[in-house]
């Protein structure tokens, strides 16, 4: 049962191997246990039922969110102030117990860009959303956002601080920054922990697996359910597959996302959601926990390529029990175009793609993905038959 209350041009450049403009900046600082507690009930009505939490929980996850940029001018902002960005899918976002995504950029008034960003390329792509967009995200149904990515430092420390201030004021949880690595919050009597990692400066380091295990393990000691996000892997159409080894892109290490995800679950994560490649990747269940290796681009107004597979935009909804064990789920198919933004995809192209990638990259997977997006665990007899 859902207790959520309803609250109310840069053209894309896509090379043969990339669906996104800017290379990551590799950095692997070490972070200790900086667990930051933000106990925030989803709403006052939900706090009242804390003594009787649900046995089955619904978690929704999406990939990159970037609702236009006000830098260097407002020309690449949506004409409706982003108010209808999620209209095609807001009902599904709101109906989950927890909804998360990756905030690809900062949410800030005018602040100067980071000096090093301006000198990375002849043309810099810097993402700065107006502070008022925090209400768009809140009204759409988001509860928690990852800030672990390469664009969180586009406007240096001022941009990061302003983003934190704006998300705090909207009651949105977030994690991934060294200055704010984790969040702990309670919804319907269930205590959730969240953290996020990336191979970039100023965020929890993706490449430091022992440190990641320490952060996740400390969260698990406090929480019923631990949600982990990561921003890793190569970028673009040549990087749809999970290689099970260290990935590099433009000479920079982007992590062994297979090793990271398994390490995260070994440490206590109940689900792991990836982003960063700007295309979708496979899914698997490991030790009874869901891993989605990349949920691609979700709602990225104009400054990100949406050509071909780069425009496929899944919404993943999974059901877990109170132990965090995967029960079942579904992929809801959407796609993006520059003309129409985020729309439903009746052809279910993203479902077919994720199904293919899962079967190809994880032939041993116990997941069964149907053509309509339903996800279930294969029954034991079917598994036994496949092994013969």
pTM, to two decimals: 0.86
How do residues 178-235 score in pLDDT, each as one tens digit? 999 999 999 999 999 999 999 999 999 999 999 999 999 999 999 999 999 999 999 9
What is the C-alpha to C-alpha distance for residues 162 and 164, in angstroms, rounded to an integer? Answer: 5
- Of 342, 346, 344, 345, the C-alpha closest to 85 is 342
Identify whether 26 is preceded by a cis peptide bond (ω within 30 of 0): no
Domains of the chain, earliest start first = 56-377 (3.60.21.10)
Q: Is 110 helix (H, G, I), strand (E, B) or coil?
A: coil
Half-sphere exposure of 112 (CA within 13 A, CB side): 4
Structure-block tokens of residue 114: 């980071």
Range in 18-22, 78-82, 98-102, 106-110 the model is least confident about: 18-22
Structure-block tokens of residue 347: 């052809």
pLDDT value at 5 more than 80: no
Q: What's the start-to-end Cα distance of the chain, in Å?
A: 41
DSSP 224: S
- Of 170, 269, 156, the C-alpha closest to 218 is 269
Structure-block tokens of residue 38: 């933000």
CA dihedral 385, 386, 387, 388 (to 10 degrees): 60
Mean pLDDT of the chain: 86
- Quickly list H helices, the chain: 44-47, 90-94, 115-118, 133-140, 156-170, 209-222, 257-267, 349-361, 380-387
Strand partners, 143: none
Region 258-277 average pLDDT: 98
Residues 100 and 227: beta-carbon distance below 8 Å: yes
């Amino acid at each position: 049962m859902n207790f959520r209350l309803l609250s109310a041009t840069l053209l894309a450049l896509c090379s043969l191997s990339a669906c996104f403009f800017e290379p990551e900046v590799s950095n692997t600082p070490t972070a200790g246990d900086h667990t930051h507690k933000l106990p925030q009930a989803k709403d006052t009505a939900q706090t009242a039922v804390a003594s009787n939490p649900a046995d089955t929980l619904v978690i929704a996850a999406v990939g990159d969110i970037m609702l236009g940029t006000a830098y260097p001018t407002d020309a690449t902002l949506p004409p409706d102030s982003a108010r209808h960005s999620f209209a095609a899918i807001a009902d599904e976002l709101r109906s989950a117990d927890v909804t998360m995504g990756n905030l690809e950029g900062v949410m800030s008034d005018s602040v100067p860009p980071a000096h090093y960003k301006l000198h990375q390329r002849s043309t810099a792509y810097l993402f700065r959303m107006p502070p008022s967009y925090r209400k768009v995200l809140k009204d759409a149904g988001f509860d928690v956002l990852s800030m672990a990515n390469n664009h969180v430092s586009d406007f240096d420390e001022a941009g990061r601080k302003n983003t934190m201030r704006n998300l705090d004021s909207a009651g949105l949880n977030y994690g991934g920054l060294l200055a704010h690595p984790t969040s702990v919050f309670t919804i319907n009597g269930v205590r959730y922990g969240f953290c996020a990692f990336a191979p970039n400066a100023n965020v929890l380091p993706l490449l430091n697996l022992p440190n990641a295990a320490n952060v996740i393990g400390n969260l698990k000691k406090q929480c019923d359910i631990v949600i982990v996000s990561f921003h890793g892997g190569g970028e673009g159409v040549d990087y749809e597959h999970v290689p099970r080894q260290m990935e590099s892109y433009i000479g920079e290490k982007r992590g062994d996302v297979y090793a990271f995800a398994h390490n995260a679950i070994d440490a206590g994560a109940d689900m792991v959601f990836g982003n960063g490649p700007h295309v979708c990747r496979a899914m698997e269940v490991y030790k009874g926990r869901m891993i989605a290796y990349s949920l691609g681009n979700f709602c990225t107004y104009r400054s990100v390529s949406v050509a071909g597979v780069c425009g496929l935009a899944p919404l993943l909804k999974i059901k877990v029990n109170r132990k965090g064990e995967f029960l079942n789920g579904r992929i809801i198919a959407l796609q993006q175009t520059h003309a129409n933004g985020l729309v439903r995809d009746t052809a279910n192209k993203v479902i077919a793609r994720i199904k293919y990638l899962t079967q190809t990259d994880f032939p041993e997977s116990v997941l069964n993905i149907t053509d309509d997006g339903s996800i279930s665990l294969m029954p034991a007899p079917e598994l036994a038959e496949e092994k013969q």
